[in-house]
Amino acid sequence: MEQIGEILISEERIKERVTELGAQISRDYKEKDLVAIGILRGGVMFMSDLIKEIKIPLSIDFMAVSSYGMSTKSSGIVRILKDLDDDIEGKDVLIIEDIVDTGLTLHYLMDYLKSRHPRSVKVCSFLDKPSRRKIEVPIDYLGFEIPDKFVVGYGLDYAQKYRNLPYVSVLSEEDL
């Protein structure tokens, strides 16, 4: 059975940082046509909390992409499982992601969205694991940088479990 290891980011610290990010995004997107695009499933908890802290009008949409499957390592092959419901042409897009790891999925996603001619495309990621990067991608708004450990909680999972934890924790190495 999997064991939850050390807590890397507490629930309290997450709440503080999400509030800070919401204030910054509100300032940066004032007077703009903001579309927040949540990346399912991992980004849902972060997006839900974040958009409550954004104090300007916005619309939301969702995409589901996969490069992991049931593995702890990215395959590098990106599949779009659910596309946008609404048109983003001429709008300011903010991708809300749970974690940037290799950068491959986000790079693909950004190119894909840019082909739809939005006014801008920026990224807000809850976590960044730069030590695993294979391709550089811009992260305009970042929650936390973490070491190269497999983490769960606050939307992040292992085999679809642990997303509901209110904090971020390391999953025990022997269970991976």
Residue 137's CATH number: 3.40.50.2020
The pair of three-digit structure tokens given for residue 79, joined into one six-digit string:
């599949």
CB 94, CB 29: distance < 8 Å? yes
Give the contacts of 107 (CB within 8 A, at least 6 positions apart): 135, 137
Structural domain contains residue 93: yes
Is residue 51 very low, low, confident or very high in pLDDT (cuts 50, 70, 90)? Answer: very high
User: What pTM does this model have?
Assistant: 0.91
Q: Which amino acid is at 79?
A: R
Q: Which residues contact 17 (CB under 8 A, 6 or more apart)?
A: 143, 144
> Structurally, how many domains does the chain consist of?
1
Range of the domain at 50: 11-149
pLDDT digits (tens, 9 = 90+) for 15-32: 999 999 999 999 999 999
Comparing 1-5, 26-30, 114-118, the range with the smallest average pLDDT is 1-5
| Sequential DSSP letters for 97-124 | EEEESSSHHHHHHHHHHHTT--SEEEEE
Examine residue 49 and state whether it is found in any structural domain, yes or no.
yes
Fill in the DSSP letter of residue 30.
Answer: T
Is residue 6 in some structural domain? Answer: no
d(CA 112, CA 106): 10
Residue 173 within any structural domain of the chain:
no
Q: H or E element: which one contains 23?
A: helix 11-28
Q: Give catalytic residues, as residue numbers.
A: 101
Query: Is the pLDDT assigned to residue 90 strictly greater than 50?
Result: yes
**Cα 16 to Cα 102: distance, rounded to the nearest angstrom:** 27
